[in-house]
Amino acid sequence: MAGVELLSDQGYRVDGRRASELRRVQCRLGVLGQADGSALLQLGNTRALAVVSGPHEIRGSKSKALHDRAVVNCQYSMATFSTAERKRRPHGDRKSIEMSLHLRQTFETAILTQLFPRSQIDIFVQILKSDGGNYCVCVNAATMALVDAGIPLQDYVCACSVGFVDETPLVDVCYAEEAAGGPVMAVALLPRSEQVAFLSLDSRLHEDHLSGVMKAATVACRDLHAVLSRIVKETLQEATAGE
């Protein structure tokens, strides 16, 4: 790409990070009073609000209900002002539908759905500001919202995207790096068991590099897990101290 140098010779990325460095994570649980669980999570400049409701009775047609486990319903939407170019529709476009589907798949693996037969769990995620890694921020935010809602999970679900530039995996890519068109892999990991809950790869990546990228993603997800669990602990401590 003309002009944009994703990884400088000195090893800095466009926003000044090193290749294996995550953006700053900030997160607050229970931001919305009405919902069963909510979380606002910010990774660098990407900010997502996740709201969880349920488990509750199936809404709409009862035929959707599953007799042995809960239905997970996800909706992903992006605020019209979240990107530099104004978006026309907040949700319902193909990308959002795909993203909703990905989120559902991710969380169906993580939530212990068999505990809530014939019920429904809703996860709504809203991107308020997008600067790359939307999927990953959504997953992390939704995890936190699920924790806030007290829904039993196998494990945290931590997601991180990894790009690949100049033979180097770039952890947690920002928008500029995403837009450059190189391969970007999004990994959602259950960190304790190191099981992969979700994996997607855009663009072409040579097989030889796959293990390196996966490794970088795994490390990043584990780091994220540490941050997220620390935040949960702190939130709980504050809550209990207040009582």
Among 165, 179, 161, 138, smallest CA distance to 216 is for: 161
SS3 for 177? helix
Looking at residue 3, its amino acid is G
**Pattern 117-136, binding to other proteins, x per CB under 8 A?**
-----x-x-x-xx-x-----
- Joined together, the tokens standing for residue 152 give 């039993």
- Give the nearer residue to other proteins in terms of CB position, either 32 or 196: 32
CA 110 → CA 4, 85, 115, 152, 191, distances in Å? 38, 34, 12, 9, 11
- Minimum Å distance from CB 236 to other proteins? 17
- Minimum Å distance from CB 20 to other proteins? 8
- Minimum Å distance from CB 76 to other proteins? 10
Q: In angstroms, rounded to a whole number, what is the distance separating the alpha carbons of residues 217 and 159?
A: 8
Figure out which of the listed residues 45, 105, 119, 154 binds other proteins, where binding follows CB under 8 A. Answer: 45
- Give the nearer residue to other proteins in terms of CB position, either 116 or 175: 175
SS3 for 11? coil
- Minimum Å distance from CB 183 to other proteins? 14
Q: How many CB atoms lie within 10 A of CB 85?
A: 5
Burial class of 33 by CB neighbour count within 10 A (0 to 12, 13 to 18, 19+): exposed
Q: Which of residues 181-240 bind other proteins (CB under 8 A)?
A: 208, 223, 227
Please choose, out of 6-14, 63-71, 178-186, 190-198, the segment that lies near other proteins by the rule CB under 8 A: 6-14
Task: Tell me 72's DSSP state.
Answer: E
Q: Which residue has the tokens 């400088």?
A: 8
Figure out which of the listed residues 30, 66, 69, 79 binds other proteins, where binding follows CB under 8 A. Answer: 79
Q: In angstroms, rounded to a whole number, what is the distance separating the alpha carbons of residues 5 and 1?
A: 8
- Minimum Å distance from CB 214 to other proteins? 17
- Give the nearer residue to other proteins in terms of CB position, either 34 or 240: 34
> What does the binding site for other proteins look like in residue numbers (CB under 8 A)?
2-3, 5, 8-12, 14-17, 21-28, 31-35, 38, 40, 42, 44-45, 47, 49, 51, 53, 59, 75, 77, 79-81, 83-86, 90, 122, 124, 126, 128-129, 131, 167, 174-176, 208, 223, 227
